[in-house]
Amino acid sequence: MATTLDRILQSQGFGTRRYCGDLVAAGLVEVNGELCEDPGARFEVDGLRLMVDGEEWLACTKAYVMLNKPTGYECSQRPRHHPSVYNLLPVPLRQREVQAVGRLDHDTTGLLLLTDDGQFIHAQTSPKKQVPKIYEVTTFDPVTPEQVEALRTGVKLDDEPAPIAADACEATGERSLRLTLLQGKYHQVKRMVAAVGNHVTALHRSAIGGLVLDPALGPGEWRWLTPEDLAALRDGAR
Ligand code: URA
């Protein structure tokens, strides 16, 4: 449905409707490469290329982004000991109140999804959906075949009634593992590796479902998810 430009800008996180209308009337907004000074002009939202006061913006009804989370950031709106991952996003995305899809520890790096689509968050994080998450784990001690086997067959964690098994586990080096988990329990990788008598010294999430962290993204960088990315996420779910 076509929507007025002031409402579109408001929906994208550029401020109140009145403020957005003023931006348009002041000649600070281009739509698909052309100046538009009418706040009431109507457009379809998705795919609209905006330039707002010099900032390029791709309009979308729901925002889906991937972030290459650096170490030293908390996945919380009210961080306690480290800066928040939300500080790595531009103001319009923060205004839209995108939320992290699950959390990574402050010292974990890699693929973090953020969105303002509550249903998407539920679908990705619901234990019923069993979305595989792939972690590259660096360990303090050398990885033994017994440890890999125990992670594959199941380990007992405090507070968990039944043993928990990795969906897949392989040694990728003398002190490294690739672990695929279907759950997202608190500190799950660190606790599972501790349960087999080793210790995680670095943790990186490389993929969720069929979606791999874009190698072009440096630590702290983000980009929009493409329709292909969203399909890869759906196709990779169990
Ligand atoms: N498991 C952990 O222990 N930490 C993370 O950040 C993610 C999974």
- For residue 99, the domain's CATH number is 3.30.70.580
Taking the CA of residue 105 as reference, the ligand 1 atom at the shortest distance is 6
* CA 192 / ligand 1 centre spacing (Å): 10
Positive or negative, the CA dihedral 78, 79, 85, 91 is positive
CATH number, residue 197: 3.30.70.1560
| Parent domain of 112 | 64-127+210-236
pLDDT of residue 126: 86
Domain end residue (candidates: 39, 58, 77): 58
User: Which residue out of 76, 108, 206, 208 has the highest number of ligand 1 atoms within 8 Å of its CB and is therefore the one to mutate?
Assistant: 108
pLDDT per residue, tens digit, the chain (238 aa), is 799 999 999 999 999 999 999 999 999 999 999 999 999 999 999 999 999 999 999 999 999 999 999 999 999 988 899 999 999 999 999 999 999 999 999 999 999 999 999 999 998 888 888 899 999 999 999 999 999 999 999 999 988 889 999 999 999 999 999 999 999 899 999 999 999 999 999 999 999 999 999 999 999 999 999 999 999 988 776 6
Residues 6+ apart with CB under 8 A from 232: 209, 210, 211, 212
- Spell out which residues line ligand 1, taking CB within 6 angstroms: 104-105, 108, 187-190, 203
188 and 70 share a domain? no
pLDDT of residue 234: 82
Number of compact structural domains in the chain:
3
77 and 101 share a domain? yes
106 and 224 share a domain? yes
Q: To which residue do tokens 């993204």 refer?
A: 217
39 and 143 share a domain? no
- 105 as an active site residue: the answer is yes
140 and 200 share a domain? yes
29 and 80 share a domain? no
pLDDT of residue 129: 83
Closest by CA to 104, choosing from 154, 148, 132, 67, is 67
pLDDT of residue 155: 96
